[in-house]
A = this chain, B = another copy of it.
Amino acid sequence: MAQKVKLSTIGESLGVSTATVSLALRDSPLVAEATREKVKAHALEMGYIYNRRAASLRTSKSGILGVVVHDIMNPFYGEILRAIEMELDRSRQTFILSNHYDRVEKQRDFLETLMQLGADGVIMSPAIDTPASDMELLQKNGLPTVLIARSVPEADLPVFRGDDKFGISLATNHLISLGHKRIAMVGGTDKTSTGRDRYEGYVEAMHKAGLEVKDEWRIIGPRTKAAGFEAAGQFLALPDKPTAAVCWNDLAAIGLMSGIARAGLRPGIDVSVTGYDDLEEASIATPALTTVHNGQPEVGRLAARAMLDRIEGKQSTHGELTLIKPELHIRQSTSKVVERI
């Protein structure tokens, strides 16, 4: 279907050689920029489609990068993606997106597609339980890989993510400084590096302040607004009535606040709530959410740069963990402790 119009035809009608047309279409610096633009504009007009499949068999680069994350509808990943996109747009790399929904099989299908297409690399937030052998397969096939948001234990790859343990301690200590002594943790999972680090950070901060951590005060699971909303009933019925909730992420926190409001209590006044990520909507929520700025733009930008450097052979593909330092953004959803009756 593609390439019905021949390079020679384009050359003839512009009075340049077929070789010039070919080089111009590949943006070669051997052709003057004005000529390149003229050739490209004319080729487009004539309906010429550069056949990247054929071309990528000749050269080793396809100009395609893969990005795979848990769920692109989660704005946490969306915000990282936007930063990646801005960086790649500048280098005229096309990227292909996919969700794995934490299913290792679905992630594997996508990685195979990338290899089949001869992609130049992949930026990924690995699915829960991704085996290190899957990552080795990528390296064996010469596909540069950069991890974001989560690590894969034992995989020797560059990772860009926030310092979760430190970040959650900022939120927990803030609540403690407001006089809260009974603080629950709502949401998350132990199955990711992020989940383990955040829980540990919360427990350590509580213990350092000499406060008790009850197993019942951990509501495992919620990572979405819907789940946070549903957890409100469970939170409000917890033993010893915690006065505050450290939430896994902003989505769970915003959902929880809505559930608390539906139950007739005032989030930010009757119950203090902290989020994690500082999504764009954290500051728009009412009450505005106190949360941990998790550096999505930095993670995306750095990961994209690292990938481009690797594609250009400027950096080794081996591993190094880059932790982005989080910050606490204090807003209206946290206030001095009020005892619930």
Contacts and interface: CB of A to CB of B under 8 A. Distances in A.
Interface string A222-264: 0001100100000000000000000000000001001101100
A280 interface: yes
Size category, A interface:
35 or more
Given A54-B57, A142-B1, A284-B225, A117 B117 contact: yes
A2 B115 contact: yes
Given A1-B141, A72-B78, A116 B51 contact: yes
Interface string A72-94: 11010011011001000100001
Contacts of A98: 94-95, 97
Nearest to A258: B286
Contacts of A191: none
A258 B229 contact: no
B258 A47 contact: no
A94 B113 contact: yes
A32 interface: no
A79 B115 CA distance: 28
A306 B225 CA distance: 33
Contacts of A81: 73
B1 A118 contact: yes
A9 to B, nearest CB: 15
B284 A229 contact: yes
Contacts of A118: 1-2, 51, 53
Interface in A36-94: 47, 49-57, 60, 62-64, 72-73, 75, 78-79, 81-82, 85, 89, 94
A323 interface: no
Contacts of A99: 85
A112 B94 CA distance: 11
A98 to B, nearest CB: 8
Q: Which of A1, A110, A116, A140 has the most CB of B within 10 A?
A: A116
Contact of A261 (B2, B116, B117, B286): B286
Given A1-B60, A99-B85, A285-B258, A115 B49 contact: yes
Given A51-B116, A52-B117, A141-B2, A94 B110 contact: yes
A209 interface: no
Closest 7 CB pairs of A and B: A52-B116, A1-B142, A73-B78, A97-B97, A261-B286, A258-B286, A49-B115
29 contacts: A1-B60, A1-B118, A1-B142, A2-B118, A47-B137, A50-B116, A51-B116, A52-B117, A53-B53, A57-B57, A64-B117, A73-B79, A73-B81, A85-B99, A94-B110, A94-B113, A95-B98, A96-B97, A97-B97, A97-B98, A225-B281, A226-B284, A229-B284, A255-B284, A258-B284, A258-B285, A259-B286, A261-B286, A262-B286
Interface of A: 1-2, 4, 47, 49-57, 60, 62-64, 72-73, 75, 78-79, 81-82, 85, 89, 94-99, 106, 109-110, 112-113, 115-118, 137, 140-143, 225-226, 229, 255, 258-259, 261-262, 280-281, 284-286
Given A53-B116, A55-B116, 11 more contacts: A47-B141, A50-B116, A51-B118, A53-B57, A53-B118, A57-B57, A64-B117, A73-B79, A96-B96, A258-B284, A258-B285
